[in-house]
Amino acid sequence: MLIKVKENRTMGFIKGALFGAAVYAAVQHITKRDMLTGRSILDNLVDSAPEFIDKAKIYAKEVEINLKSPTDPYAELNPI
């Protein structure tokens, strides 16, 4: 019983270490500067964030309109 508990702690430590290493590698990759442009992936995401926000607002308005007045997607196929 004691051996099993010790194995679980060791596995938890190993999983934590692997997760930490993966996060570290991801951050290094995202913030690495491109040799050609001198910009990183994070810089590009920050610059295009306003466009993403505008697109999300438009989509939210469309969803809100569709929820207020739902239309039948098959209305054209089934004339009454």
Summarised one tens digit per residue, pLDDT across range 17-69 is 999 999 999 999 999 999 999 999 999 999 999 999 999 999 999 888 877 87
Residue indicated by tokens 């929820």: 67
Of the pLDDT bands very low, low, confident and very high (cuts 50, 70, 90), residue 78 is low
Angle, in degrees to the nearest 10, between helices 41-68 and 2-31: 100
- Give the integer Cα–Cα distance in Å for 34 and 65: 43
Q: What is the pTM of this model?
A: 0.55
Q: What is the largest CA-CA distance in the chain?
A: 73
Q: Evaluate if residue 9 carries a pLDDT over 80.
A: no
The answer to whether residues 33 and 39 touch, using CB atoms and an 8 Å cutoff, is yes
